[in-house]
Amino acid sequence: MKENSSQGWVNGGIGVLLFSGSLPATRVAVMELSPLFLTVARASVAGICAFLVLLWFKKEFPSRKQIPSLVIIALGVVVGFPLLSAFALEYITSARSIVILAMLPVSTAVFAVWRSGERPSPIFWFFSLLGSVLVMGYAFTQGFDGSLQGDLFMLLAVLLCGLGYAEGAKLSKSLGGWQVISWALIISLPLMLPLMFLYQPSSFGLISFKAWFSLGYVSLFSMFIGFIFWYKGLAQGGTATVGQLQLLQPLLALGLAALLLKEDVSYGMLIVTFFVILCVVGTKKFVK
């Protein structure tokens, strides 16, 4: 049991590492591509990949009982989070969005209690809420001048993503992690694919290589491969507990934002990120 839990942290860590490039890549993409096109295009590309993988392994269609969960997952992580975070990044920097993203673990934990019946200990909630309060406190000290709309979009994205994570982890126990995200993408594909052609850019020649590369990253790694490790890790180690690894994502993503986008990463952001990492350590050490 302990070995399975440790493996869950490893798989979850790989998933977080792959997810860490999502917001910086999305920021690059929305500079030249519309949020709607980016959302439906990444879901379409990932959906086609999922279809080919499922076809190769000759997997049967999920049961009727599993379909509602797949719809919830699709609404949360295939459509909701990508679309709302893309809208948010039209108003705020990826660095600011990354700080707000640090509230995702507590969102995931709350939905894990509701959807999976998990019962984390009081000390878990202490560390989880402390990390979120630190992030929210930092956001408020920065003010909302010209970014309230972006912050609200990002907060809604975090809520939907937490629901999608919790539901996916629950279903992974019976369907398997890679099949969960694959079928969620397949269910979305009949809608996403036509919309991709509807919202495509008027001229592909005006789009830079950086934007296409970013679209490719969020399609393959953020939307598909990362979820294979992430859902498996959540199912192995517990959704609420392993979900705290998401607090590490801001540090990785902030580094990428500074390195690739030349965005300003303040000392305040780094200090907040440091303390939320301590909260992750606390949940790993004290939660049984």
- Of 197 and 114, more confident: 197
Instruction: Find the mean pLDDT for residues 169-182.
Output: 87
pLDDT number for residue 242: 83
129, burial (CB in 10 Å: exposed 0-12, middle 13-18, buried 19+) = middle
Report percent pLDDT > 70 for the chain: 91
The answer to whether the beta carbons of residues 250 and 212 sit under 8 Å apart is no
Look at residue 140 and tell me whether its pLDDT is greater than 70.
no
For residue 7, how many C-alpha atoms fall within 13 Å in the half-sphere facing its CB? Answer: 7
- Secondary structure element (H or E) that encloses residue 262, with its range: none
Gap between the Cα atoms of 167 and 115, Å rounded: 7
Gap between the Cα atoms of 249 and 82, Å rounded: 16
Instruction: Find the mean pLDDT for residues 103-118.
Output: 81
pLDDT number for residue 285: 66
Confidence of residue 287 (pLDDT cuts 50, 70, 90): low
Q: Please write the tens of the pLDDT for every residue from 179-223.
A: 999 999 999 999 999 999 999 998 888 899 999 999 999 999 999
pLDDT number for residue 90: 85
The answer to whether the beta carbons of residues 25 and 94 sit under 8 Å apart is no
pLDDT number for residue 143: 55
Domain limits of the chain?
Answer: 2-286
Token digits of residue 112: 């894990």
Look at residue 275 and tell me whether its pLDDT is greater than 90.
no
Contacts of 123 (CB under 8 A, 6+ apart): 282, 286, 287
Confidence of residue 268 (pLDDT cuts 50, 70, 90): confident
pLDDT number for residue 2: 52
| Residue 126, phi then psi, degrees to nearest 5 | -60, -50
Determine how many CB atoms are found less than 10 A away from the CB of residue 282. Answer: 18
Which candidate, 6, 286, 234, 10, places its Cα nearest to that of 128?
A: 286
Token pair 């393959």 in the structure block, residue: 220
- Of 255 and 288, more confident: 255
Token digits of residue 172: 């992974």
pLDDT number for residue 256: 75
Gap between the Cα atoms of 180 and 186, Å rounded: 10
